[in-house]
């Protein structure tokens, strides 16, 4: 159903596409907002059981010519320490309903992939900064998480993942973990558009400079894989505390 802008309290923006914005108000509901006509559509409640964490993406499916909201729910480790794989549901605007789908490439025999921070939608694909986590683990320990890009094709409804550039990772030697510990050399990572291409933007936390920013462009991307090329570096700017996209 449609409600007015005045009925939404303290909303946060989750994503936008073709002039439509996906918002998350204080409640568990999601809403789609069309600012041009000042209307908001309240989405139905989720059919998934209560989750420990939840990631949301919003985009347009050029195949079905429909808007889709993806919700990826994660759950706490079970008594035996095994982390359950994420569960995924898709909202389709034309049907105004949610449906659960298979998690489609969000797990292997030993690990799970968890989208975390939704970044953007571009040409049929939703992008998150996320991580890979071993299933046999201890409550989502950060040092066991391998950060990466996770993306979702709105047409075939399949997830894919792509590691950051090799220079992003710093591994701890002699780790006792079965899953190799890794740390990111860069933080405040953003997935952005750079001259029509997908790119990564972030700053080097171990640089000799206070804030050394870099941009890496995704080359030869076919919707499932690609490679990164460092494009440029920004050195510190006097008086500038944060770089905007």
- Whether residue 133 contacts residue 115, with contact meaning beta carbons closer than 8 Å, is answered with no
Average pLDDT over the chain, rounded to an integer: 81
Report the C-alpha gap between 191 and 226 in whole angstroms.
14
pLDDT at 149: 93
Tens-digit pLDDT profile for residues 143-198: 678 889 999 999 999 999 998 887 777 665 554 444 454 555 556 788 999 888 99
Distance CA 226, CA 146 (A): 18
Neighbours of 9 (CB within 10 A): 8
Token representation of residue 177: 């973990």
Query: 134-148, pLDDT tens digit by residue?
Result: 888 765 555 678 889
Q: Specify the pTM.
A: 0.84
Q: Residue 2's pLDDT band (boundaries 50, 70, 90)?
A: very low
pLDDT at 221 over 70: yes
């Amino acid at each position: 159903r449609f409600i007015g802008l005045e009925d939404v309290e303290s909303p946060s923006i989750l994503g936008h596409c073709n002039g439509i914005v996906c918002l998350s108000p204080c409640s568990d509901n999601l809403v789609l907002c069309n600012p041009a006509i000042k209307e908001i559509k309240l989405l139905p409640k989720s059919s998934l059981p209560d989750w420990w964490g939840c990631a949301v993406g919003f985009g347009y499916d050029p195949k079905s010519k429909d808007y889709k909201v993806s919700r990826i729910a994660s759950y706490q480790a079970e008594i035996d320490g095994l982390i359950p794989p994420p569960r995924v549901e898709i909202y389709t605007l034309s049907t105004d309903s949610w449906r659960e789908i298979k998690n489609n490439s969000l797990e292997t025999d030993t690990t799970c992939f968890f989208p975390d921070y939704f970044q953007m939608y571009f040409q049929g694909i939703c992008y998150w900064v996320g991580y890979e986590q071993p299933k046999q683990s201890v409550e989502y320990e950060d040092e066991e998480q391998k950060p990466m890009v996770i993306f979702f094709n709105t047409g075939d409804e399949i997830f894919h993942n792509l590691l950051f550039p090799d220079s992003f990772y710093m591994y701890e030697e002699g780790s006792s973990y079965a899953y190799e510990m890794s740390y990111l050399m860069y933080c405040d990572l953003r997935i952005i558009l750079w001259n029509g291409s997908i790119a990564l933007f972030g700053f080097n936390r171990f640089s000799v400079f206070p804030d050394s920013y870099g941009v890496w462009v995704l080359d030869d991307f076919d919707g499932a894989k690609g490679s990164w090329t460092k494009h440029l570096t920004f050195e510190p700017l006097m008086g500038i505390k944060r770089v905007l996209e």
